[in-house]
């Protein structure tokens, strides 16, 4: 590498290759792409994601049947939303589902990820099996679980009596159906978060463990004193993706329980879907969707703040 590239200005970069932000005048502008490079992608993203996000807010102030033109109705949808007991229940169920998913998925994914980042031999084969749910669609998995939870012919007919459902009708029971959604969604998404933790754990410098070992720390102590603090960012990223991902439990709910029994598993995205595309009440559905956007955007801003993603540091910095 010609150190003479910018004569007189450089102290040689450390060989780690970490890219540090230098004052822009230190390097020449030659060979830098103009902002124009990003325009096609940006326009595309704006058309299908940013504009819809704004449009959904606008539509929440209208009445629209899906055909014809939306009609301005002001705050009618919102005052209706405010008093809708179904909506209140849906928000509560969504919050509950998201919170419990986090409590359930995070420890399991963390442990599995740290384990999978190790060097034991059978790991490759086991990982392939572990991660299978990651590959299948929510539809495929929901169908698999629906058949396993069928009270007449499924697995649940055999094990139901042991977990408090003598007739095996887990999906017909309010709490049972909710637990089933929670379990199936976790079953499906834990592998993804495991993958994140595996990646994070692999990046922890070995020297930290060596130092901890020399200081006499055992495995458990090392986990809590080295692994966990080093994975802080991963925990944040994974948690945020989990919260946003909880909205995609929609697919699972649609197939597994159809929101029932009654409305006992009707979470916010499902309520939005039925309101918009079954009842063709698109304006009201947009108001429900706006709430989803607000939650998700709030979480996203939190992500940018907490992880320092936006600081654009090298992933290898500090190693």
Site for other proteins in 203-222 (CB under 8 A): 203, 209-210, 213-214, 219-220, 222
- 92 versus 213: smaller Cβ distance to other proteins: 213
Longest dimension (CA), the chain: 81
Using the rule CB under 8 A, is 239 a contact of other proteins? Answer: no
The interface region with other proteins, picked from 72-80, 83-91, 134-142, 169-177 by CB under 8 A, is 134-142
Q: Would you give the binding string for other proteins spanning residues 41-70, x where CB under 8 A is met?
A: xx-xx-xxxxxxx-xx--x------x----
The interface region with other proteins, picked from 12-20, 82-90, 92-100, 170-178 by CB under 8 A, is 12-20
- 83 versus 158: smaller Cβ distance to other proteins: 158
Site for other proteins in 103-122 (CB under 8 A): 108, 111-112, 114-116, 118-120, 122
Tokens of 74: 């002001």
- 177 versus 195: smaller Cβ distance to other proteins: 195
DSSP 24: G
Q: What is the CA radius of gyration of the chain?
A: 25
Q: Report cis status (omega within 30 of 0) of the bond before 203.
A: no
Using the rule CB under 8 A, is 150 a contact of other proteins? Answer: yes
Using the rule CB under 8 A, is 9 a contact of other proteins? Answer: no
Q: Indicate which single residue of 72, 82, 92, 309 sits in contact with other proteins (rule: CB under 8 A).
A: 309
Using the rule CB under 8 A, is 316 a contact of other proteins? Answer: yes
In this structure, how many other beta carbons lie within 10 angstroms of the beta carbon of residue 271?
25
Using the rule CB under 8 A, is 8 a contact of other proteins? Answer: no
Q: Smallest distance, Å, CB 82 to other proteins?
A: 19
Site for other proteins in 85-104 (CB under 8 A): none
Pick from 100, 86, 260: nearest CA to 171:
260
Q: Smallest distance, Å, CB 68 to other proteins?
A: 11
The helix or strand, by DSSP H or E, that contains position 180, with its residue range, turns out to be: helix 174-202
Q: Indicate which single residue of 8, 34, 68, 216 sits in contact with other proteins (rule: CB under 8 A).
A: 34
Specify which residues 63 forms β-bridges with.
71
Q: Indicate which single residue of 180, 196, 242, 253 sits in contact with other proteins (rule: CB under 8 A).
A: 196
Using the rule CB under 8 A, is 14 a contact of other proteins? Answer: no
- 198 versus 265: smaller Cβ distance to other proteins: 198
Pick from 197, 223, 196, 229: nearest CA to 209:
223
Angle in degrees, CA 275, 277, 279, rounded to 5:
50
**How many Å apart are CA 232 and CA 240, to the nearest integer?**
13
Using the rule CB under 8 A, is 317 a contact of other proteins? Answer: yes
Using the rule CB under 8 A, is 279 a contact of other proteins? Answer: no
CA 134 to chain centre: 13
Using the rule CB under 8 A, is 35 a contact of other proteins? Answer: yes
Pick from 224, 236, 197, 198: nearest CA to 102:
236
Q: Indicate which single residue of 96, 155, 163, 228 sits in contact with other proteins (rule: CB under 8 A).
A: 155
**How many Å apart are CA 309 and CA 112, to the nearest integer?**
25
Q: Calculate the alpha carbon distances from 145 to 25, 56, 63, 183, 184 in Å.
A: 59, 33, 38, 10, 7
The interface region with other proteins, picked from 81-89, 97-105, 256-264, 280-288 by CB under 8 A, is 280-288
Pick from 140, 149, 111, 91: nearest CA to 287:
91
């Amino acid at each position: 590498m010609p150190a003479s590239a910018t004569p007189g200005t450089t102290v040689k970069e450390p060989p780690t290759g970490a890219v540090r932000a230098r004052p822009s005048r230190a390097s020449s502008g030659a060979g830098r792409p103009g902002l124009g490079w990003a325009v096609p992608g940006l326009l595309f993203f704006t058309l299908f994601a940013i504009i819809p996000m704004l449009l959904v807010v606008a539509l929440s102030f209208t009445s629209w049947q899906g055909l014809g033109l939306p009609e301005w109705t002001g705050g009618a949808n919102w005052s209706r939303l405010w008093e809708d007991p179904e909506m209140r229940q849906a928000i509560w169920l969504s919050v509950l589902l998201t919170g419990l998913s986090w409590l359930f998925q995070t420890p399991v994914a963390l442990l599995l990820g740290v384990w999978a980042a190790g060097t034991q031999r059978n790991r490759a084969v086991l990982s392939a099996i572990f991660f299978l749910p990651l590959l299948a669609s929510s539809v495929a998995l929901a169908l698999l679980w629906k058949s396993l939870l069928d009270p007449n012919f499924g697995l649940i007919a055999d094990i139901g009596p042991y977990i408090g459902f003598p007739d095996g009708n887990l999906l017909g029971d309010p709490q049972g159906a909710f637990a089933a959604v929670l379990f199936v969604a976790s079953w499906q998404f834990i592998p993804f978060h495991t993958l994140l933790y595996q990646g994070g754990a692999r990046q922890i410098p070995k020297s930290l463990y060596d130092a901890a070992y020399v200081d006499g720390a055992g495995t458990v102590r090392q986990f809590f004193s080295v692994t966990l603090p080093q994975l802080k960012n991963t925990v944040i990223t994974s948690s945020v993706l989990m919260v946003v991902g909880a909205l995609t439990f929609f697919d699972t709910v649609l197939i597994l329980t159809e929101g029932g029994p009654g409305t006992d598993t009707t979470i916010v995205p499902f309520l939005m879907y039925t309101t918009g595309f079954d009842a063709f009440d698109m304006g009201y559905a947009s108001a429900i969707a706006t709430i989803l956007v607000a939650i998700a955007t709030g979480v996203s801003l939190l992500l940018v703040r907490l992880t320092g993603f936006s600081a654009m540091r090298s992933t290898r910095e500090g190693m």
